[in-house]
Structure 1
């Protein structure tokens, strides 16, 4: 068959098959034979791979859906993760069925719209379905889902600046790492690297929680305030920012290092690198670095470090560049 001659029934059959394979490949009892059969199906027509990739994005949304407590516990022979996969798979299939999706929307379980955005080599500005504007820094990925009771963004990696459309009855929630940022309409920036998250508020107010599983709405930020947290933090650390704060310089294509210790500067540098810089030891991390750099040319910053600092570069077993402080020479006797 060719894509030009597919009937509606054939399209529906491909969608159903993509949902089936998405469920099976995530199941704990999926066999090597099934995986081989999936690969054969996927390669049989370009639309198969397209529909399967779309199902994977729906699966990602379903991972974050709230689940009601089961009335009857599942049999002991079925591991909990298996039952969770079945529940997510049901959501995947439901999104392919209009009536089930409508019911899921009214119950607040399923979104009525979903968007996925990535920025790799260039800063990118996008508009969400609710009219909110988002600027994505390099190497950034996020998703947007519109639920009946809230608008939900998951920042998977990178950094984004949000200008959120005001809606008191429909809060805007950003999930980053283990935490969340909750707003109704404001302008703010979220930076994430590994397990570290930093939130800078420009206008309005936000509630920041360092762990979405903890009770309460979090700590409220006002304009020119910053919150930072990482894995395991019970509460975010709050600080004041000033007029000369450079944390949003990326919007102009710049990374500004204002006399920072290397151990503070490396997370800012590394999120632009495919092979992150490492520190040889704590004393090397205390060396300070400054300067203004083009975010598209951070690789040149790595090579220039030995020219501006008392350091030299080596590589570890994984191929990552390692910064070493120059040895101190013994005084002459």
Structure 2
């Protein structure tokens, strides 16, 4: 059964938290999008407007000696002793004015506001994260994930890189992954989301997900072993794929089946501190290769490609592995 008083208190607390966050020196575009989404609710917008108005009113009062003294006393107390709402009847302030001192609660929220967790991986690193709801997320190389769980939904933001999700089932709280304006809605499912520049690729292994671009009307639903890409504000049609192969990176493997050499090198380099560079004609980069390689093992990859395509693999002084066509052997002179 709903508790109206508790709901009002929650909305007021969220409004104070958003006001504190938005007035920091640094805020990300993803956080601004979250705030905009939160504010679409009329009750949220009204609560935020009250916080702004109270803060503005308190600014005019802050120079009064009585309020300065009381504020200093409050700020010297431990957080557990600081009341959320303070009145100053002993100074004879009118009720309409004392009501604005609720902004001291906003100041406390500003000082004590703790953002929800974020997780990162370095180049070549993978990381398994278990979220509060039991969902499991495996972050791929050079990735950033931010958690934004709320009462009515579980949202995570893939700010960079790639992640494999095993969303715990909770019909009352949909699991949403957001990546550069793309939203993936899922309930109890396994799927992969990858950001490549301005494009987002979604691959489904189990369950069912709906993919949408929030600034357009485009959307599509994936079933297992399907994949789609969102780019330039457009959601592509789902197409068949080997989802297990696409998610092979979660077990530390890269699987290539007739993949252009230049694309394979780009994938291998995602995990490598020392990159592989192909020096040769454009046609060489389009040569297809097939094989299974360990993530981060650039030397084994370069050696294998060298054998497959008759290339020389040599390391520079800075650690870069260069692949170049072997010089044709000269026939012995008569």
Same structural fold, with TM-score higher than 0.5 when normalized by the shorter chain: yes
The superposition leaves residues 179-221 of structure 1 with CA deviations (integer Å, 9 ceiling, x where unpaired) of 2211122111223333343222111110123x432135x1000
Work out whether 1:115 is the aligned partner of 2:114.
Answer: no
Q: Deviations over 1:54-101 (max 9, x none)?
A: xx7xx57633323359xxxxxxxxxxxxxxxxx9xx9xxxxx99899x
| 1:291 Cα deviation after fit | 1.6
Instruction: Name the structure 2 match of 1:176.
Output: 179
User: TM-score, structure 1 length as denominator?
Assistant: 0.58
Q: Identify the residue that residue 161 of structure 1 maps to in structure 2.
A: 164
Match of 1:205 in 2: 208
1:217-268 Cα deviation digits (max 9, x unpaired): x100011211223x4151224211248x521222222111122112432342
CA 1:242–1:305: 2 relative to 1, 3 Å: closer
- 1:134 alignment partner, one of 116, 122, 137: 137
Give the whole-Å Cα distance in 2 for the aligned partners of 1:252 and 1:137.
Answer: 11
**Superposed, which structure 2 residues align to 1:1-150 within 5 Å?**
23-24=24-25, 26=26, 62-67=31-36, 68=39, 114-120=116-122, 121-150=124-153
Secondary structure of the residue that 1:190 maps to in structure 2? strand
**What are the superposed Cα offsets for residues 283-329 of structure 1, whole Å, 9 maximum, x if unpaired?**
1221112221111323542465334324457999x997675556899
Are 2:270 and 1:271 aligned? yes
The separation in 2 between residues aligned to 1:212 and 1:313, in whole angstroms, is 46
Cα distance between partner residues in 2 of 1:112 and 1:150: 19
Residue 190 of structure 1 corresponds to: 193
Write the distance in 2 (CA, Å) between the matches of 1:117 and 1:149.
Answer: 22
- Please give the alpha-carbon distance, in whole angstroms, between the structure 2 residues aligned to 1:319 and 1:212: 43
Match of 2:61 in 1: none
Taking structure 1 as reference, are residues 199 and 180 closer, same or farther at Cα in structure 2, changes over 3 Å only? same
Pick closer, same or farther for the CA change 1:141–1:311 going to 2, 3 Å: same
Residue of structure 2 in register with 1:82 after alignment: none
- 2: CA distance, partners of 1:292 / 1:130: 34
Distance 1:113 1:253 in 2: 31
Q: Which runs of 5+ in 2 are unaligned?
A: 1-19, 41-51, 56-78, 85-101, 107-112, 330-334
- C-alpha separation between the residues in 1 aligned to 2:143 and 2:274? 16
- Compute the RMSD of aligned alpha carbons: 4.3
Which secondary structure does the structure 1 equivalent of 2:246 belong to? coil
Contact 1:200–1:225, Cα closer than 8 Å, also in 2: yes
Cross-structure match for 1:219: 220
Is the 1:255–1:293 contact (alpha carbons within 8 Å) kept by the matching residues of 2? Answer: yes
Tell me if structure 1 keeps the 8 A contact 2:302–2:323. Answer: no
